[in-house]
Each structure stands twice: as C-alpha cells, then as structure tokens.
A and B are shown apart, each in its own frame.
Chain A
Amino acid sequence: MEGNLVKLSKGLDIHLQGKAEEKKIQLKSNGRYALVPDDFEGVTPKVVVKEGDKVKAGDALFINKQYPEVKFASPVSGTVREVVRGERRKVLCIKVDADAQQEFTDFGKRDVGTMSGEQVINALLEAGLFGYINQLPYAVSTNPSVQPKAIFVSALRDKPLAADFEYEVKGQEQDFQTGLTALSKIAKTYLGVGVNSALKGMKDAEVYVFDGKCPAGNVGVQVNHIDPVNKGEVVWTIGDPTVVLFIGRLFNTGKVDLKRTVALCGSEVTNPAYVDMLVGEELSTLLSNSYDASKSVRIINGNVLTGKPTTKDGFLGAHTSEITVIPEGNEADEMLGWILPRFKQFSVNRSYFSWLCGKKQYALDARVKGGERHMIMSGEYDRVLPMDIYGEYLIKAIIAGDIDRQEALGIYEVAPEDFALAEFVDSSKLELQRIVREGLNILRKENA
C-alpha cells in the first residue's frame, strides 16, 4: 500500500560530525544492568523487588504507583544488586547483576491475529512492556484503562545523528509487523515513515509518509497532521519504534527481549558505529577507548536535542537509540562572539556563514553560547515547529500559568521534544523543553 504523503516545509536539519557508520561493534557485556524509572515520563515507581532477589528477564522490577497493573520488566535474568535512591528517597535506578546463563519468563507465543484488544493490553501489562507506550496529552507513559482514539507510531528518526530505524529493523520486519498488528487490535493504528522507507508496505496500520526536515519524525508532529488531539481525547504514541519490536518479539517468541540497536555517535567518538545492546546495559564497556578520555566531553543518553547528559557509568535509557559524545566546551574561551565570523559555529541566522556551507558537518559543543533573555525575536520558533500551533504564545501562556489559555492554544497536542529545535534556535536561550514539561506536569495534576 502506498502511504499518504505529508509534506512539511518547516524544520531544520542540523548536520553534525560523527554519524554512525552502518556496521556493528561487537560488545561483550560486563553484566551490569539498571532500569531507570525516570526514563518513563510521568511514572511514580513502586519497587517490587528487594536487594538479593533473583529475577528472570521479563519479571517486574517496579510498578507504576498510579496504575499498579503497569509493570516494568527486567531486561535480564540475575540478582538485584541495589535499589539506588536519591533525595527524599526517590528511586534513581534498580541495579541488576546478570547471570551468565540468561533465563526468560515464558509468556507464551500468541497468534495476534486472533486476539482482542483487551487481550493484547493484558499481555503487554503482564510482560512489563505496557509502560513503554506513551500518550498525548501530557506526553507521559499511558493509562491502560482509557481507550485511546488512535495509536500513532513514528518509524522516522530524523534528529541529528539519530540511529536509522530502517537499519535496525532489517531482518526483524516480521516482529515489527506483529507489533503493529497487535496494536491495531487496540485502536486504529497509524505508522509514520520517511520518504525512502522500506516499511511503507506494513499492514494493519495506515501508513503516512512524512517528507520534511526534522522534526517531521516527532510523533507529536505526525499526530498534529494526521488527526490532532482535542481536549478530553487520548491518543497513544510510540515515538520510539523499537518498542514495536519489543511487542512483536513478545508475541512471536513469548519472551521479553529488550534488545535494541544503538548508534554510538558524535564528533568525539573515534569510530562511530552501531551496537546491539539491551535496555539498561551499563555504558562503560561501550565507551571505554571510544573517545579521548583526557578531554572534557558530554556523554548524552540519546540525541543532542532531547537526550539527557550521563556519565561513563550510566545505563542505556529505555527509549535511547543513540549514545552521543560531544565536546563539553566549558573551556572554550571563545572571544568576541558578537562580532567575529565564527566559521566553526552553526547558526540558522545569516550573520554567520553556515548558509554558505551547505551540508558541512559541524562539531558543536554543549555551550549555551549566550545569556538568557526575555523573548525578543519573533517568528524563531515557528520556523522549526511544523504544527498548527503558535509556539511563542503557548510558551508565554505556560510561563504565565494561564491554564485556560494553554488549553486554547493547544497544549494537549505538544510534547517537550516538539520544542527541542525551537530551543536550539532561540536567540533568547530560554529552556523551552523544561518550560513545556513543567507546564504539562502542572496541567496533568490539575486535571487529575
């Protein structure tokens, strides 16, 4: 089936150095794993294991306090080493030491074609995979008891240096199809793909082809163009297509298999390439000898726009498809930035020379490169926000705490990541993603 085509003119592709080559690094795990509850937005964890407990891959490590039926599966079989807590006893992560011989809890192979939506949901809840499904509004891990209007999957990763899902899915098309079929039993399912995607022929989902620059791959942007969310409606979103593979594998094999293909990328990485890892795997083995450790670098769990900074001893995030290493830049001491040409810097503004350099790849560091100001320039956000939303006005409404106006301006349709590029280009250096996230959290509490 040829998909419906959506052309987007707004957006921005940032070309960075250190794109992963299509080859795989062979990695031997050091056996240390940890599941981080913060990777699941909006989830308050309740830990259901104790230190020293034996778990199998697929057994729950923690559950969502709000919806206790939502469990979160251990990626490996092994022994719970530690429940790490931070301030006010907040659960930071649950560490598991893997057994040499992996054991899987068997959830039984199923023929998804004959299952009902309810059966699919129950199977996902049972296997601890349901929490990987997000929702709009609020862009949080979803509630299993609310019937969604539709389910949206984006298989297009187009953020800077993003791992190509087309490369990851090669050879696993069957699992992907099973996952889509399973989702389609719950509600009408849409699949958003890129122009050259091999996934256009997928069945049981209405395929939309998105032709445009980043953030055309954001699931929120796709929802906005296919069937926008209205107040009171809920749609489920899967912006991380690997989750569909997790679901497909569960039904095809009966096991929870959280293997994902991750791009090790960024200008500081010596040999950028792909690697197969499990969710929660410690990064130290992957990162040792992959960059110059004497330099001040930023290791990002995810891509440069939405990823969180981590350390060498961090763990692969649940939705992380890239580990990016860029210079931190805290020792850059760049002089007279307000007037010099700064050929090494990238800017969409033509007072710099990026517009002359075409697809030149940049090695950008993590500096903010300016002081925070009030919103001065107009139209900056709109250029990179391909949604029918007035970004500046929505941000102002959030800062002002005016909930009625936020609703009127469409806050239910956005996720923080939709504002990532706006935050990148913003000359006033406002922390837009944080502002949107805080706004959504307040609204969620208010509407609960």
Chain B
Amino acid sequence: MKALRNYLNKIKPNFEEGGKLHAFRSVFDGFETFLYVPNDTSKAGGVNIHDAIDSKRIMSMVVIALMPAMLFGMYNIGYQNYLAAGTLASAGFFEIFCYGFLAVLPKILVSYIIGLGIEFAWAQWKGEEIQEGYLVSGIIIPLIIPIGCPLWMLALACAFSVIFCKEIFGGTGMNIFNPAIAARMFLFFAYPSKMTGDTVWVAQSSIFGLGNDLPDGFTAATPLGQIGQGITPDTSVLDMALGFIPGSIGETSLIAIAIGAVILLWTGIASWRTMMSVFVGGAVLAYIFDATGQFTIGCQTVAWWQHFVMGGFAFGAVFMATDPVTSCRTTTGQYIYGFLIGAMAIIIRVMNAGYPEGMMLAIFFGNMFAPTIDHFVVERNISKRQKRLKN
C-alpha cells in the first residue's frame, strides 16, 4: 500500500500548478481522495478535531442502501422476461439474474459515464473538487425508469439533469430539484411512449444467448397502470410486496426498499421525519378516498394500504423525498413536507387517470414548496425574537 501512496506522491506534481497535466487536477484529486482520506489538517481559528463523517461516506452509504433494490431489480427484469416467455420453470436462479444483470448494467454504465463525465468536466472548468452527489443520482436514475427506455434517451436525461438541475445552481447542495426526479420528468414529458404504457416494462430480447426474444407487440402492464384503466390487477398483493411485478427497474420490491430504508434511518442519513410523514400523508389521503368512494379510479379495485406496494411510492418516499438538499431543512418543516408529498402522490394517482404514477410529480412539487415551508417555520422563530424585543 505504501507503494501506491509513493506512486501518487510521485505523479502529483504533474497535476499541480504549472504541471503538464494541470488540466486534470480535479480528476486526480477526485481519485486521490477516493483512495486516501486527505491529510489536510484543520486551520487556525476553527476546531482542531473533526468528526470522521464526510460527504463521500454519506453518499456511499446511500449507494449501499440502494443495492438491495438494484440487485432485486436485476433479478426481477430477468424474472419478467422468463415469465412472459413461459420458460420460468426451466430457468435457474443464476440464469435469470445474469440476464437481468446484463439488461440493467448498460443503463447504470450510461448514467454514470454521462453524469460523472459532465461532473468531472464541470469541476475541472470551475477549478473545484469533484462533488459526490451524482454517485447517488447516477444509481437512482436507472432504477426509476422502465427497462424499455433506450440508452440514448437515458443519456440525454442524465445530461439534462446534471447540467440544468444541478450545476447551473452551483452543484450538490445548491440545487432546488432532485436531479433524479428531474431526469425522470424530462423523459416522462419528452418521450412519454417510452416511459409509460404496456410495452416498456419487460425486457423483450435475449442478450448473449440468455433470456428470451418475446414476440412483437408483446404487452404487459404494471398493476398501477391496470388500476388507472379501471382493471383489477392480475397480481397478488404478496407478489407486489415482494416485487415480482412489471415496473421501473428498482422500485418494485417493497422488501428490498425496506432494507435500504433501515440502512438510511439507522445511519441517520435520511430523515425519519420526512420518510414517516410521506407514508402518513399517503395513508390519510388514500383512506379518505377509500372511505368516501368519491373517485372511482383506483379506489374501487384496491384497498387504501395497497397504494404503498404499487408503483414508486415506497421508493420515492425512502430514497428521493428524503434527499436532504431538496427537502425541508427544519425539523418541523420535514413533517409538513413529507405529508404533502404522500398526500399529493395519492391525489394524483386517484384523481387523474392520465398519470397513473403520482409520486414523481408529488416529489417535484414537494421540492418546489420546501423552501416556502421552511420559510414559515424560520419566520416563527424570527417573530418570536421580535416579540421579545417589544416587551
């Protein structure tokens, strides 16, 4: 290990001011800090010791929390293909997973290469350190799109979200909207036929001899899509909870998402207040709709609690609503923010047949309202101080 450190020390001068590779200093710095905790010590006038937590560790933990959802998503992609072809019984676990892995891997690679490429270039241009935020967005984006979404569309969406949703605001920590939500919104409104409908949810062709070529015109709808059309879903609630249903790659399994949720809550990286109130908000609204029976779409066919096992509700609540940058920063605000997202997601689902999945728009609107919610919470503290002055 000493050799590696020595090698880095040897090539480092090339990247410093005046070195011939100075143009790549941010990239070098990115890799060096990835390999080694920086040896920089505290400056005078501040604390002399620091907590070991840093933004790299936090982002890594979120990526780890996303792993169960990603791995299950890969398996499910294979499962759906073999199920559609009717060859499920003869295929082994490993074969199914490998097919799914090969189907999903290009999406993850494209997302990271395009997104991180832009991040690296941007950091270089601004002369800053590379920020870690995209490590998380880059894995979330492939997990929230259908397997049928072409790679070039994905690439376009990643580029759009990194540039227009993050970097022009000043990078990680300054963005108003969650970059992953922005990427999905971009795809949803620019290429609706590849983001929704009956033809995009199951991988349709074999890869390297694995999997099955499905016949042209094969269709499979998500349970949520079926409900949107007033059809009772043909999958059991257990399958929906376990995740053996067509859907966006990483969002189908409640179990896998729950494992991620436990990691995020245990490490304290996600706010339990936000996460809990999303579910509370969703439950309250779904229950009201269920009880009053006012709106036919969605309500007739499923019980109120089934909203949580379908579509992206759980994934959004656990991984996306809790993004600390775009959610409310005050603790009081987080309760309101979460409730608003949960409630809005159900309202969109139930009242608007055009958008069977409401979570994306709900989080987007939540992001939009977060600063306003915080404003009122902070304003209360300010007016308390002013009142004290008058007395």
Contact = CB atoms under 8 A, between A and B. Distances in A.
Interface of A: 14, 16, 160, 228, 230-232, 298, 300, 304-309, 324, 326, 328-339, 342, 345-352, 364-379, 382, 388-390, 392-393, 408-410, 420, 423-429, 431-434, 437
B40 A367 contact: yes
Contact of A298 (B41, B174, B388): B41
Contact of A424 (B38, B49, B57): B49
Contacts of A304: 47-49
Contacts of A366: 41-42, 48-49
B381 interface: yes
Nearest to A367: B41
Contact of B381 (A306, A342, A390): A390
A266 to B, nearest CB: 10
Kindly list the 5 A-B residue pairs having the minimum CB-CB distance in the complex, ordered from nearest: A370-B54, A374-B173, A345-B52, A337-B37, A378-B329
B45 A308 contact: yes
A300 to B, nearest CB: 5
A187 to B, nearest CB: 19
16 contacts: A351-B58, A367-B38, A367-B41, A371-B54, A377-B58, A378-B328, A390-B378, A410-B385, A425-B51, A427-B55, A428-B173, A431-B45, A432-B46, A434-B45, A434-B46, A437-B45
B52 A305 contact: no
A423 B47 contact: yes
A127 B348 CA distance: 74
B48 A298 contact: yes
B53 A370 contact: yes
B45 A367 contact: no
Contacts of A377: 58, 269, 324
B17 to A, nearest CB: 18
Interface stretch (B28-36, B72-80, B144-152): B28-36
A1 B37 CA distance: 52
B42 A368 contact: yes
Contacts of A429: 50, 54
Contacts of B58: 349, 351, 376-377, 427
Nearest to B59: A338
Contacts of A409: 378, 381-382, 385
Contacts of B331: 379, 382
Contacts of B33: 371
Contacts, number: 212
- What bracket does the count of chain B residues touching chain A fall in? 35 or more
Contacts of B328: 378
A267 B214 CA distance: 67
A393 B56 CA distance: 24
Contacts of A408: 382, 385-386
B48 A431 contact: no
Given A300-B48, A369-B52, A370-B54, 9 more contacts: A335-B37, A338-B59, A367-B39, A368-B50, A371-B56, A388-B384, A427-B54, A427-B57, A437-B45
Interface in B297-347: 324-325, 327-331
Contacts of A390: 330, 378, 381
B337 to A, nearest CB: 11
Contacts of A393: 329, 378
A367 B55 CA distance: 15
Given A350-B266, A374-B173, A378-B329, A424 B43 contact: no
A420 to B, nearest CB: 5
A398 to B, nearest CB: 15
B61 interface: yes
Contact of A338 (B1, B41, B56, B385): B56
A18 to B, nearest CB: 12
A386 B53 CA distance: 21
Contacts of A378: 271, 324, 327-330
A332 B170 CA distance: 32
A420 B60 CA distance: 26
Nearest to A417: B47
Contacts of B268: 349-350
B90 to A, nearest CB: 39
Nearest to B265: A350
Given A375-B173, A392-B329, A326 B49 contact: yes
B171 interface: yes
Contacts of A306: 47
B305 to A, nearest CB: 30
User: Which of A231, A308, A337, A372 has the largest number of chain B CB atoms within 10 A?
Assistant: A337
Nearest to A233: B389
Interface string B4-39: 010000000000000000000000000001111111
A232 B388 CA distance: 12
Contacts of A307: 48
Nearest to A334: B37
Interface string B364-391: 0000000000000010011011101100
Contacts of B172: 373-374, 376
B276 to A, nearest CB: 15
